Amino acid sequence: MNNLWNDAEAANFKGDLGLRVYTSRLLGRDKSLVLHGGGNTSVKIRERSLTGEEEDILYVKGSGWDLEFIEEAGLSPVRLGHLLKLSRLEALSDPQMVNELLTHMTRASAPAPSVETILHAILPFKYVDHTHADAVLAITNTGNGEQRIREIYGDKVVIIPYVMPGFDLARLCAARFPAEARSRTIGMVLMNHGVFSFGATARESYDRMIGLVQMAENYLARHKAWDLPVPRGAGTRKPPRIMAARLRAEISRAAGFPLVMTGRSDERSVAFCNREDLKDISRQGPATPDHVIRTKRIPMIGGDVDAYAREYRDYFNQHAPLAKETKSMLDPAPRVVLDRDLGMCALGRTAKDAAIVADLYSHTMDVIERAAALGGYRALPARDIFDVEYWDLEQAKLKQGGKPPVFSGEVTLVTGAASGIGRACVDSLLARGAAVIGLDIDPGITSLHERNDFLGLRCDITSENEIADALEAGVKAFGGLDMLILNAGIFPGGATIATLKTDEWRGVMKVNVDANLVLLRECHALLKLAPRAGRVVIIGSKNVAAPGPGAAAYSASKAALNQLARVAALEWGADGIRVNVLHPNAVFDTGIWTEEVLASRAAHYGIPVEEYKKKNVLNVEVTSRDVAELAAEMCGPLFAKTTGAQLPVDGGNERVI
């Protein structure tokens, strides 16, 4: 456990609130302490109101903020006096508590305060830090976890038995902490939940957190439960893409909507998934109930989705209240799958959600194996886990989530994605919620977007091996394929048939026809598994209907591709896959149209460049975005009953009309 405090860095953060931001970020940098919005921090500051009255304000991490990137705006200011009065109530429902927190903030624009705000308030220290440290969780999630915690810390911490976060936990801490704290007490351990530290300064509270977690790590090391060796022969694996796509399709069916699935087949994940005791150690529950909402109660072992769904429904019926309103929120689909061949697979409504689940469960695997090395992993009882999963506050969030984007949970592959129409297609699809795999021969494709829902791969589509590798990587990242946009192509220099060389002709055919045949063939099995049926959009050309002199190779290749698309529409209709073609013309914001070429063509017609750009029936300029938006719409519900169509995107061309 590394202490990341740096005096030079700290000097850039001014005042109590600034230093609270700084040490919060230090905690957030260490993923063994907090992950994806987990944990929370606070500071108590005395401030003067607009009316001149002094009052104590608790600044606590607000909902939706990640400690690693928190700003002062992410800390919610709540009146401390009112929080202390609330802590003395006999009972307070969660909705009432949330209302009290929101209505007693001093800044209306602040985020909703953490549900653990009252707990922070009752601790009599200026700075309070709370993490879900992996090392502490590994120790508390054992049969004799409390005994071990006492052995490690003595009176350095107060131990609190597990109670679900919220008012009841705060009230328990308010009763037990003053009675059990001693002069040496610097922290508090919540069993099966996490660890608190506190201090008079930001650095003191942070240093104490690092020290407490280091003590837990040292304990694990002494008991040979810290280093987790990889069994011999585990290695990394390259799981077959069809197996992964089929699993994702089945789980999406169980959920009732498409899910993105990201796979991790590294040595650690494969080793965990091949443990002989996998079912016993992995299906008790998560390392901390804070992870339940995203990972669900238990992972699925192997690929029997129907059996998992039955088990999950039985679990729900056993523990849930009979209210139909609660049952309506039941989603039996797993969010984690542990498979000996595929490794650990994580699912979510978006690629970001799936990545969060994967990160959470990667740390959960470490916690489970370290606890097992101590003598046996033991999670909370199912009743406690159920209460968190169907917590009324979480159910309210689900209801308020709104309608997801049209392509949420779906995956698209776009060729020629680094520039022009292909890049515009990437942007249009991302804006509609799709996860996108972008292929291009330009290495710049790998850094086109830095986000969870985009995978840029350098790929020469004339190489069948590179296409196969790209599809494997895409399915590993997102779980399958729902939409295919075939855009990549080349437009050679003008040559009459009399001067056209055979190598030039074959070169154009290799990219514009042969490569697209391979892509269609290799993607067909994946598109068949698309939860909402597969969709293909092919970027053709005006030259299919109206070829021009000097463009024999290009015109013939696009005509051949158009015929290929028509045949695919006929053959794939039985699979529910629809195939449509767009025919753009004169799209000038692409790589082949330099300023010099534009000026030359405009001069040929004796008109200005801007007029040349609009040389069509409607007198409009056609952009890459115009083509991309229509391509995205053709993959959407408006075209659900259309296949084999050919649509021009050219502003109206007299020769085509």
What b-and-e string marks burial along 16-38, b requiring 16 or more CB atoms within 10 Å of the CB?
A: bbebbbbbbbbbbebebbbbbbb
* Active-site residue (options: 59, 206, 554, 612): 554
Backbone torsions φ then ψ of 421, nearest 5 degrees:
-60, -40
The whole-angstrom separation of Cα 393 and Cα 329 is 13
Cβ contacts of residue 187 below 8 Å, gap of 6+? 153, 156, 157, 158, 195, 196, 197, 198, 208, 209, 212
Q: Which amino acid is at 208?
A: R
Q: Residue 631: which residues within 8 A CB-CB, separation 6 or more?
A: 421, 425, 428, 485, 537, 539, 582
| CB contact at 8 A, 136 and 100 | no
Rg (the chain; Cα; Å)? 29
Helix (H) or strand (E) holding 55: strand 54-61
Residue 554, both tokens: 């290009």
Helix (H) or strand (E) holding 292: helix 292-295
Largest CA distance in the chain: 98
What ranges make up the beta strands (E) of 148-259? 157-160, 187-190, 194-199
581 vs 152, 631, 646, CA distance in Å? Answer: 67, 9, 5
Please give the structure tokens belonging to residue 473: 């990587």
DSSP-derived 3-state class of residue 483: strand
Q: How far apart are CA 592 and CA 587, in angstroms?
A: 10
Using left for φ > 0, alpha for ψ between -120 and 50, and beta otherwise, residue 23 falls in: alpha
516 vs 510: CA distance, rounded Å: 9
Annotation says 554 is catalytic = yes
Structure tokens that stand for 512 in this block: 């514009």
Please provide the distance, in angstroms rounded to a whole number, between the alpha carbons at the two ends of the chain. Answer: 71
Query: Catalytic site residues?
Result: 554
